[in-house]
């Protein structure tokens, strides 16, 4: 009797062990096949950072898409190990520049909140330089920046049409990369000012060419994407992959310059042809990312509009849209 029970237990343990082993092995195999599909590191990227994305867990968020058809990761909370990303970027001496425009009334309305909150949440642990573009340099608030963080103010002209304030950012960004930034930074991020950081916006967001999924569109069918539909415009698109939000884009300096140049040249051509894209610079940005696929996508956790009722996919709000101030409304 005792012997039979012993043999039986032994058998059950063996079977359990086998099941455990096979499932672990299968998991390992699938993770390897995921890795094979990941974008290859480009030349020049520090070796330490090269294989970081092979640590991403693409199954951490079953309810949302975490990989594009061209194998770019879409970054959501739980997919990445923040400490590991920070450590590797620190070891690789990654440096980050951030551009933000605060022209006219937008300076008083938004800049202070944007910068104060960025000091708490944006790329903490890495050297960061803010570039603030404004027509009112003397009105930029004085800041106590954390060590390794710097702020530069660049004076720009104020365009009279609001569409031009927004669109001409592309020209200024391109020129600034060429004259100021090239060679000094590993990555550049460009932000709208009317937003507030609320949670970690860290090194997991860094990549060669980074686009943001628009919070209002990421769940909608493609037919509802508001691409430009005028064949006369350079931004005209028949079809696309996603609807990207122009409030945040980034990447290597080279890639951001290519994007900014593309958008600026397209905007100028449209002006010559007396056409203006539906959503201005954002329409051109969407066209650029359709023709030049981003290597990394940020989920709407990286730029959320609190007005949206369905928050079921949003585990962390890292950055939120500020409410529009009504003394500045226009037809958008
Ligand atoms: C002002 C009135 C209407 C539209 C834009 C402006 C405006 C934009 C401005 O007066 N000053 C300014 O610095 N901007 C910059 O352009 C800000 O960085 C702003 O975040 C960015 C885009 O304009 P937004 O934020 O009003 O556009 P949406 O797409 O968020 O509505
Ligand atoms: Mn905005």
Q: What is the pLDDT of residue 37?
A: 43
Structure tokens at 73: 């990761």
Q: What is the pLDDT of residue 318?
A: 98
Give CA–CA dist 47/227, Å, rounded: 38
In terms of Cβ atoms closer than 10 Å to its own Cβ (0-12, 13-18, 19+), residue 23 is exposed
Contact 187, 251 (CB under 8 A): yes
Q: What is the pLDDT of residue 163?
A: 84
Q: What is the pLDDT of residue 15?
A: 74
Which residue carries 């007005």 as its tokens? 307
Contact 185, 129 (CB under 8 A): yes
- Concatenate the DSSP letters of all residues of 92-125 into one string: TT--EEEEEE--THHIIIIIHHHHHHHHHHBSTT
The DSSP bridge pattern shows strands 296-298 and 128-134 to be unpaired
Atom of ligand 1 nearest to the CA of 246: 29
Give CA–CA dist 328/286, Å, rounded: 26
Q: What is the pLDDT of residue 36?
A: 44
Q: How many CB atoms lie within 10 A of CB 164?
A: 16
Give CA–CA dist 58/75, Å, rounded: 9
Q: What is the pLDDT of residue 23?
A: 66
Q: What is the pLDDT of residue 18?
A: 73
Residue 162 Cβ < 6 Å to ligand 1: yes
Q: What is the pLDDT of residues 203-232, one digit of tens each?
A: 999 999 999 999 999 999 999 999 999 999
Give CA–CA dist 69/297, Å, rounded: 12
- Domain positions in the chain: 79-327
Give CA–CA dist 92/52, Å, rounded: 12
Q: Which regions in the chain score pLDDT beneath 70? A: 1-4, 10, 17, 20, 22-48, 326-332
Q: What is the pLDDT of residue 9?
A: 77
Residue 166 Cβ < 6 Å to ligand 1: yes
Q: What is the pLDDT of residue 42?
A: 46
- Residue closest via CA to ligand 1's atom 11 equals 103
Q: What is the pLDDT of residues 70-96, one digit of tens each?
A: 999 999 999 999 999 999 999 999 999
Structure tokens at 324: 């529009």
Q: What is the pLDDT of residue 24?
A: 65
Element holding 28 (H helix, E strand)? helix 2-37
Phi/psi at 184 (5° precision): -95, -20
Residue 267 Cβ < 6 Å to ligand 1: no
Residue 281 Cβ < 6 Å to ligand 1: no
**Which residue among 108, 165, 249, 277 is best mutated to probe the pocket of ligand 1, counting the most ligand atoms within 8 A of its Cβ?**
165
Atom of ligand 1 nearest to the CA of 321: 30
Give CA–CA dist 76/204, Å, rounded: 10
Three-state SS at 228:
strand
Domain 79-327: assigned CATH number: 3.90.550.10
**Which residue among 113, 189, 192 is best mutated to probe the pocket of ligand 1, counting the most ligand atoms within 8 A of its Cβ?**
192
Q: What is the pLDDT of residue 47?
A: 56
Q: What is the mean pLDDT of the chain?
A: 91
Q: Is the pTM of this model over 0.75?
A: yes
């Amino acid at each position: 009797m005792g012997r039979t029970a012993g043999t039986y237990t032994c058998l059950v343990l063996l079977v359990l062990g086998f099941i455990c082993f096979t499932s672990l092995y299968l998991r390992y195999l699938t993770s390897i096949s995921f890795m094979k599909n990941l974008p290859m590191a480009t030349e020049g990227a520090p070796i330490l950072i090269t294989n970081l994305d092979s640590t991403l867990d693409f199954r951490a968020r079953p309810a949302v898409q975490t990989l594009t058809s061209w194998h770019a990761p879409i970054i959501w909370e739980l997919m990445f190990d923040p400490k590991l990303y920070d450590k590797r970027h620190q070891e690789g001496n990654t440096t980050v520049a951030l551009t933000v425009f605060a022209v006219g009334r937008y300076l008083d309305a938004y800049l202070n909140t944007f910068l104060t909150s960025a000091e708490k949440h944006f790329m903490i642990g890495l050297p960061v330089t803010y570039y603030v573009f404004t027509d009112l340099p003397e009105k930029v608030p004085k800041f106590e920046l954390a060590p390794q963080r710097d702020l530069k103010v660049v004076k720009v002209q104020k365009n009279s049409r609001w569409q031009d304030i927004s669109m001409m950012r592309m020209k200024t960004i391109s020129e600034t990369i060429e004259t100021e930034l090239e060679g000094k930074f590993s990555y550049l991020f460009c932000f709208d000012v009317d937003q507030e950081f609320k949670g970690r916006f860290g090194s997991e967001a860094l990549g060669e060419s980074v686009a943001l999924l628009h919070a209002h569109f990421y769940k909608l069918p493609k037919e509802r994407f508001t691409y430009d539909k005028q064949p006369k415009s350079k931004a005209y698109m028949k079809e696309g992959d996603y609807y990207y939000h122009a409030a945040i884009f980034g990447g290597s300096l080279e890639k951001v310059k290519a994007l900014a140049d593309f958008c600026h040249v397209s905007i100028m051509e449209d002006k010559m042809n007396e056409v203006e894209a539906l959503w201005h610079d954002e329409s051109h940005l969407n066209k650029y990312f359709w023709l030049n696929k981003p290597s990394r996508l940020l989920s709407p956790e990286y730029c959320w509009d609190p007005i949206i009722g369905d928050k079921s996919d949003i585990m962390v709000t890292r950055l939120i849209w500020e409410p529009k101030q009504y003394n500045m409304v226009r037809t958008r």
